[in-house]
Structure formats: C-alpha cells, structure tokens
Amino acid sequence: MNNRVVITGIGIYSTLGVNLEEVRNSLYTGKSGIGIDPEREVIGFRSPLTGVIPKPNLKEYLKRRDRVGLPDQGEYAYLSTLEALKEAGIDEDMLLKEDVGIIFGNDSSAKSVIEASDTIRLKKDTTLTGSGSIFQSMNSTVTMNLSTIFKLRGINFTVSAACASGSHSIGLGYLLVKQGLQNKVICGGAQEVNYQSMGSFDGLSTFSMRTDAPEKASRPFDKDRDGLVPSGGAATVIIESLESAQKRGATIFGEILGYGFSSNGEHISRPNIEGPAKSLEMVLNQAQLTPKDIHYINAHATSTPIGDLNEAKAIQRIFGNSRPYLSSTKSMTGHEMWMAGSSEIVYSLLMMKNGFIAPNINLNTPDDEIKDINFAYETVETEFDTFLSNSFGFGGTNSSIIIRKF
C-alpha cells in the first residue's frame, strides 16, 4: 500500500505560548521565550539560562489517577495533544471506535528519576516514592500515560533519538500510515524543562553564557553565538491517511512528502557535514522533489559554533543556488531537544498557514562561509507551500521531513 499521508491536527505547549494562537503571534513578532532560572545559579550551573514555561494545572482536566503518573513533559504533552485532537476533530467516540496509535519522542525523565532516588536514600523505603514515580520515570512516560488517558488502541511506543526524537516520531508515524498499517497516529515530542535534566549537559560547557541579555542568548548562525539555551515543552502532530481525512472532512494542515534519515557514524557529540547532507538528499529523493521545490528550511541549528556551521554547509552543498529561506526558530525558543523535531514542524505549519516566515532573531552577521544563505533576518511576509525541517542529535542521528501545503 502507498497511502498519501496528511497532517490533520497540531497542538503546542511551548515557551512561545501555551496554544497555537499565542505561538503564532510569538513567531510572527520574533518573541523570545528565554529567561534565567535563579536556582541554577545557586546550585552550581555554569549557565542559568533556560526556556521559561508555565507549570500546567491539570486538575480541571484529569482525575487524580491519570495525573499522578505524569512528569512535567507529560503534562505539557497532554495539553498539546488535547489541542491537536480538537483541531483534528477527533473526539472520544472516534478514539474508542478506531485503532488510533501514538508515537512520541522523549529521551529522558530525569527529574522523576532523581526525586525517587533522593527519597529512597533519605527514607530507606522504596514504597515512599509513591505510586506515580515509576510511570513518570521511564522514557516511554509520555506514550504510556497518553495512551491510557486517551484510551488509544493502535501502535504505542516512544522514540528515543536524542534531539531528533520528535522528528523521527513523525517520520515513523508517516511510514506506518503510508504503508496502511495505521489510519491515524498521534505523533509528537516532549521535553522536560528543569535543572535535574540539564545539569550534565551544562557540564559540557555547551550552554550560552550570555546572561546579561537572555533574549539575545540563542543566536543560531550568528558570528557571536556562544552556545545553546536548553528549553522544552511539547508538540503534537496528528498524522492521518488522506483517504481517512477526506472521508470525514477533516482540515488538512499539510501533506508529508518525505522522511530522510542517516547516522554520522563518527563522534558522539561533534556533528559533521556528510550525515546531514545524506539525510537531506534522502528526503528530497523520497519526496521526489528537487532543491528548488523547497521554499523554506527550518534549521536544526541550536546556536553552537560547530553545529550551526556544519548544518549550513550541508544545506549549501545540497541546495546550492536554489537559496530557500532559512531560519532557526531555536533563536526564539532555545533548544527544545526531544520535542524540537515536532515543535518545529508545528511552527513551520503555522507559518505556512499564515503566510510568513518567522525570523532567525539575533542573527546580525553570519559566519563568512555561509553569508550567501538566504536567512530570514526579519519576519518575511510570503506565501509558501513547501518546507523542510531538520533535526539532528547526539550519536549522529539525523532526520529530515518535507511537508507541502495541501
């Protein structure tokens, strides 16, 4: 079977806003979601910079048993999925009658693990970690909780692929629907935003130290970038066969045309050019498109010196003279890690729907070698119909997805 695959629902809970409308406005105006966590200054972090996101209160939505197993990122993912299901017009009855699946990207649940460990050491009693701890602590926490809450009966697992997790989740959902194994899959990515999950990453001296102006700290591709800003939240993308979507008259946000991937096969944290270039070539082949067909690329670029430069070189190698618009929304959000591959699809879909390209804020002067790239320095008012989203992660995992307006 070779189904056409479309997106019929999106939802978002991020540092740019807690729903699609807020996030659309933030993207358009180039608003930063970055701030300072004073606690990190006290406990020995090199950088206290972080994405800032409100703690959800789910008491009005979920009964106690459904809440106690949810870690921070599970709460974000519940809300983004609730919004996406509403956008998709999928109600409880449809979820009960059909085999709807779920695949989410998530690669840690550090806060829950550390809190449980602290309790056991302090109390010398494992029972005192409480009934929710185990369900909060596993990498599959988001899919195990949401599949229970929404009573899902299709495919059900989590993708752990570092900072490409959220992108691979959509890629895998796309393949399942394309092959006719699933009609609807709830895909997405979730990322906790707490110091427990970020300490060891901070220890690698990877984070920006630009604490005097947090909103200017994340500056992908800019000559003066000095590291990434950790961030998070959750994004949900509902994938469905075109046939199913049309049959029930669903709104179609876009059609997934291709999924490319590769592994660098080199250093665990230092990105190269060949791996991403291979992923880009593969996604274009899968989509049966040429570089000039892509109007916008949402870059993975996180604001690290080597990562941004190598991604830009890979894009230059493949896209050469076609010069699609390029921006990294991480300039506003910071690095949403496990969530990023999904949230950046949501951000790009919002741009495509509303006729603009969000700016790569804080990009004043790009590196000399990449100055010819067509960066979106400011918000660009333009209708476009095809975009590509890149996501890369530790271990050299790469994922690229192409989506076209339907």
Query: Is residue 68 close enough to count as binding other proteins by CB under 8 A?
Result: yes
CB nearer to other proteins: give 68 or 273. Answer: 68
Task: Take residue 145 and report the two structure tokens written for it.
Answer: 């909780």
CB nearer to other proteins: give 135 or 347. Answer: 135
Least distance in angstroms from the C-beta of 63 to other proteins: 8
Residues 131-150 binding other proteins (CB under 8 A) are 131-132
Dist CA 96 CA 103 (whole Å):
18
Dist CA 222 CA 306 (whole Å):
12
> Which one of residues 44, 130, 203, 355 is an interface residue with other proteins (CB under 8 A)?
130
Residue 300: CA atoms inside 13 Å, Cβ hemisphere, count?
38
CB nearer to other proteins: give 132 or 341. Answer: 132
In whole angstroms, what separates CA 326 from the centre of its chain? 17
Show the site string, 87-126: x = touches other proteins by CB under 8 A, - = not: ------------------------------------x-x-
H or E element in which residue 74 lies: helix 72-88
Query: Is residue 128 close enough to count as binding other proteins by CB under 8 A?
Result: yes
Phi/psi for 230 (5° steps) reads: -70, 145
Among the listed ranges 61-69, 86-94, 162-170, 216-224, the one in contact with other proteins (CB under 8 A) is 61-69
- Catalytic, 267? Answer no
Among 406, 404, 399, 405, residue whose Cα is nearest residue 187: 399
- Catalytic, 187? Answer no
> Which one of residues 2, 57, 127, 321 is an interface residue with other proteins (CB under 8 A)?
127
What dihedral do alpha carbons 209, 210, 216, 219 form, nearest 10°? -40
> Which one of residues 29, 65, 180, 371 is an interface residue with other proteins (CB under 8 A)?
65
Least distance in angstroms from the C-beta of 128 to other proteins: 5
CB nearer to other proteins: give 120 or 242. Answer: 120
Dist CA 330 CA 338 (whole Å):
13
- Catalytic, 300? Answer yes
Question: Which of the following is catalytic: 168, 187, 295, 335?
Answer: 335
Query: Is residue 290 close enough to count as binding other proteins by CB under 8 A?
Result: no
H or E element in which residue 388 lies: strand 386-393
Dist CA 180 CA 346 (whole Å):
24
Least distance in angstroms from the C-beta of 78 to other proteins: 18
The answer to whether 188 and 136 are in contact (CB under 8 A) is no
> Which one of residues 55, 64, 97, 121 is an interface residue with other proteins (CB under 8 A)?
64
**292 contacts: CB under 8 Å, gap ≥ 6:** 322
H or E element in which residue 3 lies: none
CB nearer to other proteins: give 127 or 321. Answer: 127
Query: Is residue 213 close enough to count as binding other proteins by CB under 8 A?
Result: no
Least distance in angstroms from the C-beta of 144 to other proteins: 14
Dist CA 119 CA 130 (whole Å):
10
Least distance in angstroms from the C-beta of 168 to other proteins: 32
Q: Is 391 exposed, middle or buried (0-12, 13-18, 19+ CB in 10 A)?
A: buried
H or E element in which residue 71 lies: none
Please list the active-site residues: 163, 300, 335
Contact positions vs other proteins (CB under 8 A):
59, 63-65, 68, 123, 125, 127-128, 130-132
